Amino acid sequence: MTVLTPPLPAAPPARGTTPDHGPEDTGLAVAGELLSLLRDSTTEPRRDDQLEALALAVAADLPVLLWGEPGIGKTAALNGLAEHLGLPLTTVIASVHEPSDFAGLPVVGDDPAVQGVPMAPPDWAVRLVRAGRGLLFLDELSTAPPAVQAALLRLVLERRIGALQLPPGVRIVAAANPRSSAAGGWELSPPLANRFVHLQWVHDHEVVIRGMGGVWPRITLPPLRRDGLPEAVDHARRAVCGLLTARPELVHRMPGDGVRQSGAWPSPRSWESALRLIAFAKAAGSSRDVLSLLVRGAVGDGPGLELLAGLDRMDLPDPEDLLADPAGAVLPERGDLRRAVLDGVVAAVRNRPERERWNAAWAVLARALETGAPDLVVVPATTLAAQRRDDWDVPETVERLAEVVSLSRRADRAAGTAAASTARR
């Protein structure tokens, strides 16, 4: 009789050895599949002012500095932009490099007295030159010590690293955290700060939520209208030159405070950047919000807002054109701009008072009454009525406007009475 004995259990693997399983059986392989699914996402077209401003500044070949708190997506935005533009992304952490990494390392040749001592560039710069194009991302700029910032000046402005000249196809973008949230942060030196277009980077909670769901906004460069390029250049030059002619003290105004010196401030260099950005925004048909981000990022908030106000006035219709065709008058939607246009029409009649022009001005005011808020017509109508000559007949339009003026005055008196009563209490 044959006795069957159960097989002996397999001996456990020796310590330090790996079981002989295929890669499909390991836990890390399954973990890799899960990670792949988590990273899987798509993009959708979505209007985003800060992304459009970043794309335009990069297209304009201006160095851009993104300011924002840690973890809000600055690096992710740069990855998306590089992918859209078809540029290889090279990331350099500025704070972990020595000044010689950007100025170049001296390499002694066979005969230094004859050949000199060339400054050898780092490997990443050589790769950019070989590729002929790329997006150079200088991260953690606010944690770079002053000596490194000084070495970066030539790279950011002249695109030179040692003896190497970066090709025109290379764009430069940097990122920084505010000093309050930077690890061992430094203020940017004024010369370095003045070379950048500063964009404040903030997160949009709706974008974050949709991104967590697997759908991120697609970063695209707005198409530039080729037939509008000469007009865009002329528009930008008139805007900047017009402001600086009226306000020459704004040509160069470096802030006295060290914190503000680390941001955008006006200088001939930054005004040139603002001019270029206006031209690009005009050619792309960008919104006023995008234009505001760009010009304030170049020359600072105060000068930038003055420049925007000048641009608004440049786009206003000519009062003489409105007087020539009151029925076809197209007035701005914004209240302040509409009021400026109506005041300009009244001023044009005052400068050359004629019955036909006075009647045409009333027609323009009637047009404004039909298409906008009535209170904007009150002051121009009152001023225009005071310009009437004795031999000028009152047009029928005045009767409708008179009702608005009278109603507005009664409302003002009522508001004044109510305010006085409240004050007495």
What is the CATH classification number for the domain harbouring 155? 3.40.50.300
Residues 173 and 47 in one domain: yes
Q: Are residues 89 and 145 in the same domain?
A: yes
Residue 3 covered by a domain? no
Identify the pLDDT of residue 83: 87
Q: For the CA atoms of the chain, what is the radius of gyration?
A: 32
**Are 304 and 340 part of one and the same domain?**
no
The number of domains in the chain is: 3
Domain residues for 70? 42-105+116-218
Q: Are residues 208 and 279 in the same domain?
A: no
Q: Is residue 18 in a domain?
A: no
314, 334, 360 - which closes a domain = 314
CA–CA distances in Å: residue 153 to residues 103, 158, 259: 9, 8, 19
Give the pLDDT confidence score for residue 350 in this predicted structure. Answer: 92
pLDDT band, residue 9 (cuts 50/70/90): low
Q: Answer yes or no: do 276 and 417 share one domain.
A: no
The whole-number average pLDDT for the span 305-332 is 88
Whether residue 214 sits in one domain with residue 239: no
| pTM for this model (two decimals) | 0.76
The whole-number average pLDDT for the span 47-60 is 92
Q: How far apart are CA 179 and CA 61, in angstroms?
A: 27
Domain annotation covers residue 57? yes
- pLDDT for 424 equals 57
Q: Does residue 342 share a domain with residue 282?
A: no
Average per-residue pLDDT in the chain? Answer: 84
Residue 325 lies in a domain: yes
Same domain, 156 and 87: yes
| Residues 190 and 330 both lie in one domain | no
**25 located within any domain:** no
Q: Are residues 132 and 195 in the same domain?
A: yes
The verdict on 147 and 276 lying in the same domain is no
Looking at the structure, tell me whether residues 50 and 192 fall in a common domain. yes
Q: How confident is the model at residue 249 (pLDDT cuts 50, 70, 90)?
A: very high
Q: Which tokens is 247 given?
A: 């306000």
111 found inside a domain:
no
Is 23 domain-assigned? no
**Given a cut of 70, is residue 17 above it in pLDDT?**
no
Domain edge (last residue) among 314, 339, 367: 314
pLDDT average, residue stretch 211-232: 88
Instruction: For residue 6, give both structure tokens.
Output: 């159960």
Last residue within a domain, chosen from 290, 314, 338: 314
Q: Which residue has the higher pLDDT, 332 or 415?
A: 332
Tell me, yes or no, whether 5 lies in a domain: no
